[in-house]
Chain A
């Protein structure tokens, strides 16, 4: 090794597993670039909105105000009202919870399953890897919306349905990322040393390999989260998502679309919110990717 180009070491996961310190250092690196800072600010804003939005909403999300249908934005209704007379501002505030919560759950689940599968097939390889990888590939080959239609059509449109769809779609992607990261580590000396010690497979997978896969996983999870938001909103838009009168932003866009001529504000508010959230998450995941120097991910 020669000193060709010393780069700032990626201190976030520089190997010292003191997680608080890592978190602080990760945060410091993120705020250094304006893009990541903006991304983080947006994500924090939406998370706060999800947590406390309903407290500040003037109305409940499903409250129909008699005689207030199709009102243009005003002081009383900052984003106007929709065709039924519901306050769009309140619905957007309430809706943040849906759009943050569902993708969070689906991301956690698909990252968990994908990590498990990826670790197993990456570590054991062979026929198991051949078979499972082919299955994952074929799952990846199914167009997302077709799969969503089939699953949601079978079990009915519901939050559970969305969770199943997104998990089925994203688990293979996460599994492939983890698999390839695991493949790189499988032949590392410390893994072989663990085998020589007679460690259990579980110990090798979770104590020895998993920490090494973590940087790739964090970036992938952030990426999955942004795609999950997009997919959830799309399913809501197609009427396959959560049920009315839920203030799901995708569903709100769909409901407002046919009445665009009458209530354009009811279309712009949720569309803008989706766009801002996804931009925020993407900027943040780009920042993480820069820090971890991880390239990859499947669109």
Chain B
């Protein structure tokens, strides 16, 4: 075994030296990012973080979601919206070129958005119905069928990466010299090596229209196991990882030269009761009882070691800074009150089953809830189901059918999306409104918010919705989960995006 140890040490040495050498070779150095292997590469079709990261390095967006959830320009320098909210006009930046040297024109943008429609990209759900045209080479005009307050989030959707006019198989590996011909974007990095399942290597685009990146290159190393990613970070093989499991954060914190980075997101578990006829949640007092029965601060402490953000019992996360009203007063843990409410509702003690998917910390969440509720006249059995099965309609006890369940809601760039999907009547059809919540006042307010472009006005609408949710909303949101990353201390200028694949590496550099 001794020789094996030696080989191991040698390998480690070499990789450390190579890392150091890489850093010396060019000013900015090479950033090594660990992630799971990307599978779907097509810009219009991809979905997860590594896939987005890969595309984000090569391509640009027309506009983009900034880390604070606001919209910023990218290759559109500015835009105007008609008063009726149906026409969006974008002006393009001058002097943008593709990696193959061709200049970017409005035709490329039109082609990109038409292609999104053709291939039914996930971005369409945000974009809605629209037509796109190019009056001249530097102007693009979108005409909407109906007003859509989140249209800009659609334009900034992860899949809306601008490809060249006529590119019909973006990100398909070619042969020989033409291997990376189809990885042709206008972005800050140029793909130079791609080893599916192992690594992707980029070099900085020296002609990048916003100026060459500080880094000399970028390397994505594909490691599927989260713990192995942490190991690689600690051993110096990686500079940055994201989606670190909470139980692993201690290891990073305890190590020298690396730190935990932490970004608030709108990802959250929802504990919801069905509110339709015949289910306990049809009575608002029961809904309130559950809220009084739940100690959300304790949940955050126990399950997220206090690192999450406690919000209100509605889907509007503090991370949506412009739309979040922190003055709304929420129910506090009061088991006595919960019992009284249940008594008033004629239930006395609630007996039932709490369903949860076997994902994230939700099984533990269920166990802690069971404890908290037991003191508040709510006795539940726990049924944890495989995640796939839990969301499968062929399972009679799927997330949509059960009376009391926990579901996970991923990060959304805007609260409007969540409200529209899950808390109005039309969501029952699509399978997102699992609580069957249908409140005329909420319906009106959500529709109002959809067409309101003024942020202050929208925040007021959302505050009203929050109040309604406190009183008769079907859900408990214990916390909004943070996202953890691990970062080498030498890396500078890295701001992790709530959707970490969208993290912008353009401004990152590696210092002494």
Contacts and interface: CB of A to CB of B under 8 A. Distances in A.
Interface residues of B, number: 25
Nearest to B226: A258
Given A153-B389, A156-B397, A245 B247 contact: no
A232 to B, nearest CB: 16
Contacts of B223: none
A258 B247 contact: yes
B321 interface: no
Contact of A157 (B245, B370, B384): B384
Interface string B361-381: 001101110110000000001
A262 B370 contact: no
B247 A84 contact: no
A63 B367 CA distance: 10
Contacts of B385: 156-157
Contact of B251 (A62, A84, A245, A261): A261
Interface string A250-279: 000001001111100000000000000000
B68 interface: no
A84 B364 contact: yes
Given A62-B370, A85-B302, A239-B363, A244 B245 contact: no
Interface string B474-490: 00000000000000000
Given A62-B370, A262-B247, A262-B250, A243 B302 contact: no
Contacts of A69: 302, 305
B382 A244 contact: yes
Contacts of B305: 69
Given A258-B245, A258-B247, A84 B386 contact: no
Nearest to B374: A62
Given A84-B367, A84-B368, A243 B384 contact: yes
B383 interface: yes
Contacts of B302: 64, 66, 69, 84-85
**B interface SS class:** helix
Contacts of A245: 367, 370-371, 382
A157 B382 CA distance: 10
B250 A239 contact: no
Interface in A217-255: 239-240, 243-245, 255
B295 to A, nearest CB: 10
Interface string B4-41: 00000000000000000000000000000000000000
Contacts of B383: 156-158, 243
A244 B367 contact: yes
B298 interface: yes
A157 B363 CA distance: 13
Contacts of B298: 66
A104 B363 CA distance: 27
Interface of A: 62-64, 66, 69, 83-85, 153, 156-158, 239-240, 243-245, 255, 258-262
Given A157-B385, A243-B381, 15 more contacts: A64-B367, A84-B364, A84-B367, A156-B397, A157-B386, A158-B383, A239-B363, A239-B384, A244-B366, A244-B367, A245-B371, A255-B363, A255-B364, A260-B247, A261-B247
Interface of B: 245, 247-248, 250-251, 298, 302-303, 305, 358, 363-364, 366-368, 370-371, 381-386, 389, 397
In order of increasing CB-CB distance, the 3 nearest A-B pairs are A245-B367, A259-B247, A244-B367
30 contacts: A63-B371, A64-B367, A64-B368, A64-B371, A69-B302, A83-B364, A84-B302, A84-B364, A84-B368, A156-B383, A156-B385, A156-B397, A157-B385, A239-B358, A239-B363, A239-B386, A243-B381, A243-B382, A243-B383, A243-B384, A244-B366, A244-B384, A245-B367, A245-B370, A245-B382, A255-B363, A260-B247, A261-B251, A262-B247, A262-B250
